[in-house]
Each structure stands twice: as C-alpha cells, then as structure tokens.
Amino acid sequence: MTEPSSDKLIEVLRKAVSRTSMLAEGNDPQLDSVVRQIRQTITKGANAEEIQKALNNAEPFLIQSDEAHLSRAKQVRSTLQDLIDILEKQDDKQVPQSEKKQLEAKIRLHWQQPSQWPLLLKDFLTLAENTLNQPATDHAKSSFFKRLLNRSAKNDAIKNTQDIIIQVSHTLAGLLNNLSLPSIHDNDIADLKTALSKNDNLQQFPDLLDETINLVMVAVGKNQESLTNYLNQLNKQLASINESITHSDQTQKSLSKSREGLNTKLQQQMKDTSKAVQEASELNSLKSLINERLSTISTTMTAYRSQMKEQEKQSNQSIALLKNKVTRMEKDTTSLRALLQEKLAQAMTDSLTDLPNRTAYQDAILPLCKAMQKAHKPICLVVCDIDHFKKVNDTWGHLAGDKVLRLVPKQIRNMLTKEDLMFRYGGEEFVMVFPDTTLEKAIERAENVRLAVTKTPFNVQGEPVSISVSIGVAELQPQEDPESLFDRADKQLYLAKDGGRNKVMAHK
Ligand SMILES: Nc1nc2c(ncn2[C@@H]2O[C@H](COP(=O)(O)OP(=O)(O)OP(=O)(O)O)[C@@H](O)[C@H]2O)c(=O)[nH]1
C-alpha cells in the first residue's frame, strides 16, 4: 500500500465519521446531545466485534419501538379528542369555543410529539375547568364549586357535571392502559386507575390528571431511552474506527521516520567513506576500507529493507481492517440515513390522508414564494375547509369523519395539475398552492375543486352524505410574505363560510 492511497483512505474514514454524526444532527434535541457524545468519545477505544453485534441487535428494536410509539401517539390523540367530546356532550354548560379550537389545533399539530402530550393534557384540564366552572346556561348561576358544596341547589346540573367527570376519569384510565411502562410502575397505574374510576369530584381532578401526566412523562422518557441506546451503539462503532485511523496515522509517521533515519545514516556513511578515501595512502588499505564501508552500507540497506517489509505488512493488515470497517460503516450509514429519512418523512406527512402536513407546508411555502417573486411569476394560495364537518362526526362517528377526510382530498387532487401542491393544514382544512397561476385562473380552478367535491356521491355506512367545501383564494403580491398571503386567503375562506358556505371567495 503506497502512502497516497493510505492517506486517501484515512480521508474517506474521516468523512464517514463526520457524515454519520451530521446525519443525526438537528432532528431532535435529545439526538443532538447523543451526537455530541459521539464526537467527544470518538477518541476513546472500543471493541469492534461486540459493537457490531450490539448494533445489529439494536436496529430491529428501534424500528419496533417506533411503531409502538406511533400507535401510542394515535391513542393519545383519540383520547384527547374523546375528552373534548365528553365535555361538549353536557347540556347545561358551553365549552368555550375559541379555547376548544385552539386546543384541537394544538392536538393536530403535536399529537406525534410525546414531549407535548403532558402539555396537551394540561391544556385539556384548563378547558375542563373553564367549562365546568362556568355558570350554567339554563340552571343556577352559582359557580360549579359552590354548587358542588351546596348540594341543595340544582341537583340536575350537579349530576350532569359529575357524569362528565366520571366519563373523563374513565377515558383517562383507558389512556393509562395504553402506556408502555416498566413493571415497577404497575402499582402506581393500578392505584391511579382505581382513584380515577371512583372519582366524581372536580376538586380532585387536577391531582389525578397531574399523576396521569407524570406517568405519561415516564412513558415518553422510556421511548427516548431506546433511541439513545441505539445511538450509543453507533457511538462505540465510530470510536473503534477512529482508533484504527489513529493507528494507521502512527504507522505512516513511523515509516517516514525510518526513511529519514536511513537517509541520515547513508549520508553519514558516504561522508565517512569519502573522508577515509582521501586520507588513505596506499591501494590495499583503500580497497579493504572501501569493502568495509560498502558492507556497512549494504547491512544498513538490508536492515532497512526488512524493517520496511515488516512495516508494510503491518500497514497492509491495518489497511485491510480499516477497509472492512469502512464498508461496515458505509452500510450502517446507509441504513441510518434511510431510517432518518423515513422519520423525517413521517414528521412531514399526515398519517390519515398521507398528504404533506402543516410542517411540510411551512417548509415549502417560503422558498416557493421567493422563487416566483424572483421570476416575476404569479402564485396563488387556496385555503379550503369542509363545511359543517363536525356534523359528520356527530352524526356518523369519528371513523366516518376520518373516511370523509381521506376521500375529499382524493377528489380535490384529481382537479389539480402536477405542479400544484396540496397539504393537510389542520383538522378539516386543506391548503393548495398553485404556482405560475394568475388569480383569475386560480379562482376558476378553485371553483372546479368546489364543484368536484359537491358532485361526489360520498357514502357513509351505506347512506349518501352530501359534502361541500368553502374556499378562500389570494395571489401573492410583490414583496409580500407567505404569512400575509395566508391571512388574506384565510379571510376569504371565512367570508365564504359567512356567505353561506359551498362558495369560492377571492381577494382581488
Ligand atoms: N374524524 C375526525 N374529525 C376531526 C379531525 N380533525 C378535526 N376533526 C373535527 O372537525 C370538526 C371541526 O369542526 P368545526 O371547526 O366546528 O367546523 P365545522 O363543523 O366544519 O363547521 P364550519 O367549518 O364552520 O363549516 C371538530 O369536531 C373536530 O373534532 C380528524 O382527524 N378526524
């Protein structure tokens, strides 16, 4: 192995190391901290075989834990929605609509992020307290707490509120069944479930919800642990490769040192020889002197050659080892990259409709707007919302609602060109982007979308259900930012709703 090719290999290895750690960076704060650990421990030694084995064992476990996480996230989302629905069902109090909508928007945005679950539950607690503490619309005006303590007043209303608390407690107990927790928490869960099943008192509710939140946080921590384990394995493998690189570097240094040593030795012997030749006075002694010098030089050369051979052998061995490690590393890098890309795609995709979600919209819209502004081309934003969608849920149930949410965008997609983009912005709201399209043309196409939805015969549980959408359209102005464009289109959507729904309105 010659020096330049070995240098090249070392360079490849360095790139592989940094590329692998960079791959993981920026996806998640916890992940980032593990990546930092990778960089710190990269200079320490490690056992490659053990690491490889552990890495192979860790991978399926990670995938499994991802799947479990998704199904838990879905459970949490539907539990939160159920909790809100229970609050809505009581007949003597009104759930504050703007607070409710804000919470639903947060659920839609954050249901896949475990770190947000406790916050969502806390927000629900606030909504529940604000709802239940309101004066009853048709009953007594005293606060819920007063009424709870003074049982002579409005027994019906109290009964209703207690029913709500019982149902909410029951739903939270269901959530606990779905948390994946170590057995050490079995007793806590059992106690909490018993307390929840007996609870009919709003005053105890915050404590019970707090305990539920604590257990949710423990479950979330456990999930992170599996990811951290996986990355620790990767960390060890990187450290092992780094050890090999350092060794190869040392071999290179010792090779060039030997070469320098030989040079100096040879120069010194040549100098001595030439001095001895000049000083020699007769032929015989000159002959024997030259023979002696030549034999010294030859011994030095032989010693050097065998030293070189030995070092080359060692170098070849360590290069072969490195090659193996690089191949393995490249393989792991590829599978890690695929895993991260999959995670990224998951984070950008709405799992119900398979459409890009609001995060994807926010990533895409700014560069798109800038590109169109730079090219002096028009671009239009179209905000579309299914009309009276709550009624679909209330009449046919959430599953039927989900079915409609999957079918409507399919119908809409048929009316779009391949340049158009479509996102599920939230609940029953979809956003479309028509690049290189004037406002006039966008209105015409939005009208086609509206007609296509109205004309589609939707069937739920064998019965026809008529579905319509309201649409707001706006065209990007020179210098305008995407937020202001969205606001203008959204205002038009509200005008369409106010104007009786099943309409297209545009900002002209
Ligand atoms: N089934 C189902 N329902 C959802 C989903 N996301 C949001 N929703 C429901 O969508 C409904 C939206 O209701 P509202 O915001 O009151 O609007 P609407 O009934 O469509 O009425 P308008 O928009 O005023 O025409 C709420 O009941 C949400 O629970 C989902 O993923 N699946």
- In this structure, what are the phi and psi dihedrals at residue 355, rounded to the nearest 5 degrees? -85, 155
DSSP-assigned beta bridge partners for residue 385: 429, 470
- 238 and 155 housed in the same domain: no
Rounded Cα distance between 370 and 502, Å, is: 32
Ligand 1 lined by 350 (C-beta under 6 Å):
no
- For the cut 70, the answer to whether the pLDDT of residue 409 exceeds it is yes
Residues 4-27, mean pLDDT to the nearest whole number: 43
- 122 and 134 housed in the same domain: yes
Q: How many angstroms is it from 274 CA to the middle of ligand 1?
A: 100
Q: Average model confidence (pLDDT) for the chain? A: 75
Nearest atom of ligand 1 to the alpha carbon of 97: 16
The answer as to whether 352 is a domain residue is: no
Q: How many angstroms is it from 430 CA to the middle of ligand 1?
A: 12
Q: How many angstroms is it from 299 CA to the middle of ligand 1?
A: 91
Q: How many angstroms is it from 100 CA to the middle of ligand 1?
A: 11
- 207 and 334 housed in the same domain: no
Predicted pLDDT of residue 220: 60
Q: Write out the DSSP string of 174-193.
A: HHHHT----GGGHHHHHHHH
Predicted pLDDT of residue 267: 77
Residues 307-322, mean pLDDT to the nearest whole number: 80
Out of 282-296, 312-326, 412-426, 433-447, which region has the weakest mean confidence (pLDDT)?
Answer: 282-296
The answer as to whether 250 is a domain residue is: yes
- For the cut 50, the answer to whether the pLDDT of residue 414 exceeds it is yes
Q: How many angstroms is it from 5 CA to the middle of ligand 1?
A: 63
Q: Tell me the chain's radius of gyration from C-alpha atoms.
A: 36
Highest mean predicted confidence (pLDDT) among 88-97, 199-208, 453-462, 477-486: 477-486
**Which amino acid is located at 270 in the chain?**
M
Q: How many angstroms is it from 256 CA to the middle of ligand 1?
A: 74
Residues 483-493, mean pLDDT to the nearest whole number: 97
Residues 1-16, mean pLDDT to the nearest whole number: 43
The answer as to whether 164 is a domain residue is: yes
Of 487 and 277, more confident: 487
**473 in helix, strand or coil?**
strand
Nearest atom of ligand 1 to the alpha carbon of 391: 19
Ligand 1 lined by 389 (C-beta under 6 Å):
yes
CATH code for position 42:
1.20.1270
- For the cut 70, the answer to whether the pLDDT of residue 32 exceeds it is no
Q: How many residues does the chain have?
A: 508
Of 217 and 373, more confident: 373
Contact 117/216 with Cβ under 8 angstroms?
yes
Residue 456 makes CB contacts below 8 A (sequence gap 6+) with: 407, 411, 467
Nearest atom of ligand 1 to the alpha carbon of 85: 29
Predicted pLDDT of residue 203: 67
The pLDDT tens digits for 335-383 are 777 777 777 777 889 989 999 999 999 989 999 999 999 999 999 999 9
Of 374 and 275, more confident: 374
Residue 190 makes CB contacts below 8 A (sequence gap 6+) with: none
- For the cut 70, the answer to whether the pLDDT of residue 3 exceeds it is no
- For the cut 50, the answer to whether the pLDDT of residue 401 exceeds it is yes
Nearest atom of ligand 1 to the alpha carbon of 387: 25
Predicted pLDDT of residue 467: 96
Q: How many angstroms is it from 456 CA to the middle of ligand 1?
A: 20
The pLDDT tens digits for 68-90 are 667 778 888 888 888 888 878 76
Nearest atom of ligand 1 to the alpha carbon of 426: 6
Q: How many angstroms is it from 133 CA to the middle of ligand 1?
A: 25
Predicted pLDDT of residue 43: 39
- 217 and 234 housed in the same domain: no
349: DSSP letter: B
- pLDDT bin (cut points 50, 70, 90) of residue 499 is very high
- For the cut 50, the answer to whether the pLDDT of residue 431 exceeds it is yes
**Number of folded domains that form the chain:** 3
Predicted pLDDT of residue 83: 83
ipTM of the complex, rounded to two decimals: 0.97
Residue 504, H or E segment: strand 504-506
Residue in 80, 87, 390 to alter for ligand 1 test, most ligand atoms within 8 A of Cβ: 390
Predicted pLDDT of residue 116: 81
Contact 237/51 with Cβ under 8 angstroms?
yes
The answer as to whether 115 is a domain residue is: yes
The answer as to whether 353 is a domain residue is: no
Predicted pLDDT of residue 27: 38
Ligand 1 lined by 352 (C-beta under 6 Å):
yes
Residue 387, H or E segment: none
Ligand 1 lined by 406 (C-beta under 6 Å):
no
- Candidates 368, 400, 347; CA nearest to 480 is 368
Ligand 1 lined by 491 (C-beta under 6 Å):
no
Ligand 1 lined by 385 (C-beta under 6 Å):
yes
Tokens, residue 252: 């290179």
Rounded Cα distance between 474 and 439, Å, is: 7
Give, using CA atoms, the residue closest to atom 31 of ligand 1: 427
Give, using CA atoms, the residue closest to atom 14 of ligand 1: 390
Residues 122-127, mean pLDDT to the nearest whole number: 83
- pLDDT bin (cut points 50, 70, 90) of residue 8 is very low
The answer as to whether 284 is a domain residue is: yes
Ligand 1 lined by 88 (C-beta under 6 Å):
no
Range list of β-strands (E), 312-438: 379-386, 421-426, 429-435
Domain edge (last residue) among 287, 311, 346: 346
- 174 and 135 housed in the same domain: yes
- 153 and 104 housed in the same domain: yes
Residue in 79, 88, 428 to alter for ligand 1 test, most ligand atoms within 8 A of Cβ: 428
- 462 and 395 housed in the same domain: yes
Q: How many angstroms is it from 390 CA to the middle of ligand 1?
A: 4
Cα angle 175, 350, 84; round to 5? 40
Q: How many angstroms is it from 451 CA to the middle of ligand 1?
A: 21
- For the cut 80, the answer to whether the pLDDT of residue 471 exceeds it is yes
Cα angle 359, 84, 148; round to 5? 145
Percent of the chain with pLDDT over 70: 68
Predicted pLDDT of residue 302: 81
- 183 and 216 housed in the same domain: yes
Task: For CA atoms 344, 345, 351, 356, give the dihedral sign.
Answer: positive
The answer as to whether 351 is a domain residue is: no
- pLDDT bin (cut points 50, 70, 90) of residue 459 is confident
DSSP-assigned beta bridge partners for residue 434: 380
- In this structure, what are the phi and psi dihedrals at residue 473, rounded to the nearest 5 degrees? -125, 140
Highest mean predicted confidence (pLDDT) among 41-45, 234-238, 326-330: 326-330
The answer as to whether 179 is a domain residue is: yes
- 84 and 134 housed in the same domain: yes
The pLDDT tens digits for 58-68 are 445 445 556 66
Predicted pLDDT of residue 42: 38
Of 306 and 434, more confident: 434
Ligand 1 lined by 355 (C-beta under 6 Å):
no
Contact 320/246 with Cβ under 8 angstroms?
no
Domain edge (last residue) among 289, 313, 346: 346
| Domain extent for 322 | 3-54+227-346
Q: How many angstroms is it from 45 CA to the middle of ligand 1?
A: 56
Domain edge (last residue) among 346, 368, 394: 346
DSSP-assigned beta bridge partners for residue 386: 469
Tokens, residue 302: 């032989």
Nearest atom of ligand 1 to the alpha carbon of 101: 15
- pLDDT bin (cut points 50, 70, 90) of residue 226 is very low
The pLDDT tens digits for 139-158 are 433 334 333 334 334 444 44
Q: How many angstroms is it from 394 CA to the middle of ligand 1?
A: 10
Nearest atom of ligand 1 to the alpha carbon of 393: 1
Tokens, residue 396: 């046919």
- 216 and 81 housed in the same domain: yes
Of 39 and 407, more confident: 407
DSSP-assigned beta bridge partners for residue 469: 386
Distances (CA, A) of 93 to 79, 99, 101, 104, 105: 21, 14, 17, 19, 22
Ligand 1 lined by 388 (C-beta under 6 Å):
yes
- 339 and 439 housed in the same domain: no
Residues 90-102, mean pLDDT to the nearest whole number: 82
CATH code for position 405:
3.30.70.270
- 241 and 216 housed in the same domain: no
Ligand 1 lined by 402 (C-beta under 6 Å):
yes
Tokens, residue 262: 């030989």
User: How far does Cα 62 stand from its chain's mean position?
Assistant: 14
Ligand 1 lined by 401 (C-beta under 6 Å):
yes
- Candidates 207, 197, 198, 203; CA nearest to 172 is 197
Residue 127 makes CB contacts below 8 A (sequence gap 6+) with: 84, 87, 95, 96, 99, 100, 103
Tokens, residue 182: 């170590």
